[in-house]
Amino acid sequence: MDTEKVIKLEHVTKRFPVGEGEFTALNDINLEFAKGEFAGLVGPSGSGKTTLLNIIGSLDSPTEGKANIMGRNISELTHKESAHLRNIHIGFIFQVFNLLPVYTVYENVEFALLLQKKTASERKKAVMEALEWVGLTSMANKKPAKLSGGEGQRVAIARAMVKRPDILLADEPTANLDAKNAHAVLKTMKDLNKELKTTFLFSTHDEKVMAYLDRIVHLEDGSVKEDEIITHQNTEL
Amino acid sequence: MKLAFQIAYKNLMGAGLRTWLNVAVLSFAFVMIIFFNGLMDGWNQEASRDSIAWEYGQGQLLHENYDPYDPFSLEEGHGVLPSAIANEFESILIQQGSIYPDGRMLSVQLKGINLDQNTLKIPTPILKNSEADIPVLIGKRMAETTKLKEGDEVLLRWRDINGTFDAANLTIAGVFDSNVGTIDNGQLWMPLKKLQSMTGLDNQVTLGIAKKESNYAAIGGWKFQSKETLLKNLSDIIATKKISSSIFYLMLLAISLLALFDTQVLSIFRRQKEIGTFIALGMTRQQVVGLFTVEGSMYSLFAIVLGAAYGTPMLWLLAKTGIPIPAASQDAGVAISDTMYPVYGFGLIAITILLIIIAATIVSFLPATKIAKLNPVNALKGKIQ
């Protein structure tokens, strides 16, 4: 495992205003994730998993503490720098896929590369490669509405991976999938993790996901309860 | 920007009927704006052309005591045109008189004009060929008012230079048809020499119509009014008419822009997760604002293309066949023909296109500014209020 730290969280606290008071969603989180980790934030609803994922994805910033992503303190980034960080270094996979409905599978995957201003031939090569990773080259011209749940999530993986990000954040990626599709999707991600050395960080309370993780960070009431390294008996995982 | 256009195009095409309803309404406003303005411009051009041809010529040299708006000034408002420039003007003598058609008294202006003139379209050869003692030409409006027709005789009473009343029968030598009501209503056109001899005003004229375009400086005892000055009244009337007509199409435009605004607000509300996804994928908020604004602007581009598709043949046909104007409108104080031909200039079309694009962009930008303030996490959750 490469020891380069792509995510460094120091005393991260996040509070939200609620009425006249405040709700503490994250409380003094100290975590580090190295390049190539396949890790998960696990905990019940309201434990702060998604909030932490949003901060790591620079969609949100901590109220206190420092979140260094790819060596940049996200609290100090402008909107433009933050967008650049997400565009180049971070991929997202959402629970409900969030595919753009008017685009084809190909165009959905291509989108991030358009933002990176890649040439048409570079885009085509990368998109076809990404669709190959997830086994959807034959679906390239279909619209998201024509896909099954598993296929939709695989398109979302291809869209997140096509730009070969350093970090991939997946928020409950299997919540809307049946067991068969969930395993297929997780296997795809695990393979990509091995092949591309991308750091995968999940937010989940799905045991199917946990079975694939190499490291599980247990969150409870916004605090880290346990940081567990998993040794898999099953060599396939 | 290219990316914004690509994305906007896909989104609009993907939105299907919603897009085309907005585009249809906006394109209708676009076509109507061009049509109404074209109609007014056509009227303006035709009225100016007719006014020059029938009344103004290339300008008028008025006796300094003559005021076209004061009939009493006719008594003193005449003189002999300076010989140095006399050949450059068509002489007109105007005097007052009364006629008695069907026993009714009607005040008229007697207008003397040279029979060999070709500066104005008044058909003076008819007068020249008439054998009547006092032949006169009247316009169709005058003929309708007085129920006089070609060949009719009617009693005319006038005063000579000494103020003495005189009377004789005149003969209607012809009735002419002109779009210019101001040379028709209440006017009798007769040979200049005849009017001068009837009134004892030998060689006297009230005004001269310039035969050629020229800028005459002040001439002793005479004031020159250029063609442009004379046409200004007409242009002002048409400009006023244009403003009142514009209320109709501006309302139409406002309705279509309101529909567009509404669509944008709804679109931003419905597409919160998409907005959040755009930001998560690496777009800045300003880029997303730009994207939604471009989407709104593209409605106007589609509307222009659609409007051009059905508007071009329709407007072309109307410009060819013209729009019939009701007879009652002919009595308006300005030149107006029985068929109006719209004229669509490049400027009109270009300005209308710009107006539509700018207006659509503004109404699209206003709701899109909300995106600049939104929290992407809330957007992804669909929690924008």
pLDDT for A1 equals: 44
Range A48-52, long-range pairs (CB < 8 A, 24+ positions)? A48/A14, A48/A219, A48/A221, A48/A222, A48/A223, A49/A171, A49/A203, A49/A204, A49/A205, A49/A219, A50/A171, A50/A203, A51/A14, A51/A25, A51/A26, A51/A222, A52/A9, A52/A12, A52/A14, A52/A26, A52/A203, A52/A219
Give Dmax over CA atoms of chain A in angstroms. Answer: 55
pLDDT for A237 equals: 52
Q: CB distance from A60 to chain B under 8 Å?
A: yes
Residues 6+ apart with CB under 8 A from B174: B123, B126, B127, B130, B137, B150
> Are the Cβ atoms of B6 and A86 closer than 8 angstroms?
no
**What is the domain partition of chain B in residue ranges?**
2-52+233-381, 60-225
Q: Is the pLDDT of residue B333 over 70?
A: no
User: In whole numbers, what is the pLDDT of chain B averaged over residues?
Assistant: 88
Neighbours of B128 (CB within 10 A): 13
Q: Choose from B7, B380, B381, B383 for mutation: most chain A CBs within 10 A.
A: B380
| Tens digit of each residue's pLDDT (9 = 90 or more) over B133-172 | 999 999 999 999 999 999 999 999 999 888 889 999 999 9
pLDDT for B41 equals: 86
Q: Choose from B10, B19, B281, B374 for mutation: most chain A CBs within 10 A.
A: B281
Neighbours of B258 (CB within 10 A): 12
| Tens digit of each residue's pLDDT (9 = 90 or more) over B83-111 | 888 889 999 999 999 999 988 999 999 99
| Tens digit of each residue's pLDDT (9 = 90 or more) over B258-307 | 888 988 888 888 888 889 999 999 999 889 999 999 988 999 999 999 99
> Are the Cβ atoms of B281 and A114 closer than 8 angstroms?
no
Q: How far is A88 from chain B (nearest CA, A)?
A: 8
Nearest to A100 among B277, B284, B380 (CB): B277
Task: Encode B169-185: b = buried (16+ Cβ within 10 Å), e = exposed.
Answer: ebbbbbbbebbbbbbbb
> Are the Cβ atoms of B286 and A79 closer than 8 angstroms?
yes
Q: CB distance from A115 to chain B under 8 Å?
A: yes
User: In whole numbers, what is the pLDDT of chain A averaged over residues?
Assistant: 91
- Mean pLDDT, to the nearest integer, of B305-331? 85
| Tens digit of each residue's pLDDT (9 = 90 or more) over A120-144 | 999 999 999 999 988 899 999 999 9
Q: Tell me how far CA of residue A221 lies from CA of A51, B175, B249, in angstroms.
A: 12, 101, 61
Rounded to two decimals, the pTM is 0.73
